Amino acid sequence: MDVWLGIDVGSVSTNLVLLDEAERVVAREYLRTRGQPIAAVQEGLARIAKAAEAKGGAVIRGVGTTGSARELAGAMVGADVVKNEITAHAVAALKVRPDVRTVLEIGGQDSKIIILRGGVAVDFAMNSVCAAGTGAFLDEQAQRLGLPIEEFGAYALRATTRVRIAGRCGVFAGSDMIHKQQLGFSREDIIAGLCEALVRNYLNNVGKGKKILPPVLFQGGVAANVGMKAAFERALEVEVTVPEHYDVMGAIGAALLAREAAPEQTRFRGFGEARLEYAAGSFECGGCSNQCEIVEIKREGALVARWGGRCGKWEQT
C-alpha cells in the first residue's frame, strides 16, 4: 500500500496520519507533546508503524511536516515538504469541503482563522498573547470544575440560562467563573456562558476585521467541544461543520502537500528513527549584529540539521 505521511507537532499535541492513494486516512495517531517534541515524534512514528503493519504494511512515498516544531520534525524524519500551519490547515479544509470560505481553528495553545475565496487562502490571523479559549485553558477549567474535558461541552448544551462571563482574558474568565459559582449558578449555565465568552473573545481578536462567510469549518482539538460549536453557530448565525478528523487536520494537510510535491524518491529515513537517540541544542552566532540563535539537531551524536540564521550561513538540512 502506497501512503503519504503527515506530521503536525504543536506545543500541546503531536499528530500523525497516513493517507492512501485515494487520500483517505488509513491510520492516525494523536498524542500529547508534553514539552518533548523529539520524544513525541518518535513515539508517534512507532505507533503509526504498528498501525500500518496491522493493515498489511505500507510504503511511504512522501512525508510532510507542519506545526510549531515542523523544522525539527522535518529534520528528524527526512521530510520532503515542511509547511506552516496556515497552509496545512487550509489544504486539509479544502479537501474536506472544496467550497469552504472560513476555517476556525483552535488548538492546544493557539487559535487561528483562515479566510478562503475560490479555493485560495486570501487572509488569516492568529492569537498573539492571550490563550483564553484554547484547549489548554479549557482543560484547566474542566479540571477546576471536576469534569472530564470530554463532557465539558455537553454540559453547556444543558444550560437553562447562559451566564455572562468576562472572556477577554483567561485569568479574568477563571475569576468570573468562581464568582458566578458563589452566586449559585449551576455548572451547566456557567460552562455555557464561558463558551459564549470565549467565542466572543475569538471573534473580537482573532476574527477582528475578517469577513466570515459560510461554509464554515471548525478544526483543532477544541472542535470536539459541542458547546463551543453551538456558541459559534449562535454568534455567526450560520451552520458550523466539524470535519471527521477535526483534531488531526494539520497532519492531513501536511500529507496532502507531500503527495502534491510528488518526490521521485522520498527523503524519509524510515520508522527506525523512532529508536535512535536525538538531541536538540542552540547557540548564538556572533558573526554580525543580528546575533541569530542557531538551532541544531543531532542524531546519535552526529549533526543532522541547523537553521535559524537570517543569512543562511549555518543552514544545513
Residue 305: its H or E element: strand 302-307
How much is the pLDDT for 246? 95
Residues 271 and 302 in one domain: no
What does the angle CA 189 – CA 190 – CA 194 come to, to the nearest 5 degrees?
120
How much is the pLDDT for 316? 63
Q: CA distances (Å), 266 to each of 85, 301, 303, 315, in order?
A: 22, 24, 21, 21
pLDDT tens digits, residue range 102-138?
Answer: 999 988 778 899 999 999 999 999 886 666 667 777 8
Domain span at residue 303 reads 277-317
How much is the pLDDT for 45? 95
CA distance 162 to 140: 20
Residues 110 and 182 in one domain: yes
Residues 136 and 22 in one domain: no
Intervals of the chain under pLDDT 50: none
Residues 107 and 223 in one domain: yes
CA distance 60 to 7: 13
pLDDT tens digits, residue range 270-297?
Answer: 998 888 888 888 899 988 888 898 888 8
> C-alpha grid cell for residue 146?
471536576
> C-alpha grid cell for residue 174?
477563571
Residues 124 and 216 in one domain: yes
> C-alpha grid cell for residue 70?
515542523
Residues 118 and 148 in one domain: yes
The pTM for the full model equals 0.87
Residues 42 and 105 in one domain: no
Residues 31 and 103 in one domain: no
Number of domains composing the chain: 3
> C-alpha grid cell for residue 175?
475569576
Residues 48 and 106 in one domain: no
CA distance 73 to 63: 10
Residues 103 and 228 in one domain: yes
| 231: region left, alpha or beta (phi > 0 left; psi from -120 to 50 alpha) | alpha
CA distance 268 to 79: 6
Among 242, 262, 285, where does a domain finish? 242
Domain with residue 29: its CATH number is 3.30.420.40
Tell me the CA end-to-end span of the chain in Å, nearest whole number. 29
Q: How many CA atoms lie within 13 A of 196 on its CB side?
A: 18
